[in-house]
Amino acid sequence: MIFVHGVGSSRFSPRNLYLSKFFQSLGFSTLLFDIMTPQEERLNNITGEYKYNVNFISKRIISATQFINSNQKLKKLPIILYGSSTGSAGIIESEGKLKSLGININSIVSRSGRLSLCNRNSLGLLNTPILLLCGGDDKETIDINRQSLDSMHYCQSKKLEIIANSSHLFPENGALEKVAKISFNFLNYHLNNPIKY
């Protein structure tokens, strides 16, 4: 499972660390990595150059996935991409490119994804199982995710889950635990019932 955070966050995100530990306790291998180098981070803090640059994020996702796929011990494991914010948009943009490289993704989870940044063609061609998670109080993200879900014409398994009484980052008591359990149920199903392409 590769965690992909949004620009402005890091591999030390407390939410991703919590989710990573949760999935590790269930036997998953996880990778947390920084989208930007320290130099890129400094530049972004000044110019905002990378903040909504989905192509930049997508290239980093492809590099991380190729890194995993080049390791003989990891190569045969199913790959899951778990994104948040702009990282989710980067995942959707990279999905088709990864397939063209012969790398199949088992499933995708998007937590409060900024899917309005996705190319409509990428949404329309997506066919990897995807779970979209939104906080019930995050109306704007819910609307964007509903529209994006409707655009996923080829996706056989797509689901939007709204976590009641929670906001964009799920800081409310018990919200992240619900995110983890719902994610696990979706991923566990698709690990045991992979879609054949």
pLDDT of residue 94: 97
pLDDT for residue 11: 72
Whether 24 shows a pLDDT value over 80: the answer reads yes
Q: Among 4-8, 15-19, 145-149, which stretch is predicted with the lowest mean pLDDT?
A: 4-8
Report, in this order, helix, strand and coil percent for the chain, each rounded to 5.
Answer: 50, 15, 35
Q: Over the stretch 38-95, which tens digit does the pLDDT of each residue have?
A: 899 899 889 988 889 999 999 999 999 999 999 999 988 999 999 999 999 999 999 9
Measured CA to CA in angstroms, residue 148 lies from 17, 118, 153, 180, 192 at distances of 27, 9, 10, 22, 26
Contact between residue 120 and residue 52 where contact means Cβ atoms under 8 Å apart: no
- What is the pLDDT confidence band of residue 10, given thresholds at 50, 70 and 90? low
Q: What is the pLDDT of residue 51?
A: 84
State how far Cα 45 lies from the chain centre: 23
Helices marked H in the chain — which ranges?
14-25, 38-47, 54-70, 86-100, 120-125, 139-151, 175-192
Domain residue spans in the chain? 2-192
Fold of 2-192: Rossmann fold (3.40.50)
Q: What are the two backbone dihedrals, phi and then psi, of residue 101, each rounded to the nearest 5 degrees?
A: -90, 5
Kindly report the pTM of this predicted structure: 0.94
Quick check: 197 pLDDT over 70?
no
What average pLDDT score do residues 13-25 get?
93
Per-residue pLDDT tens over the stretch 116-131: 999 999 999 999 999 9
Closest CA to 15 of 150, 171, 134, 123: 171
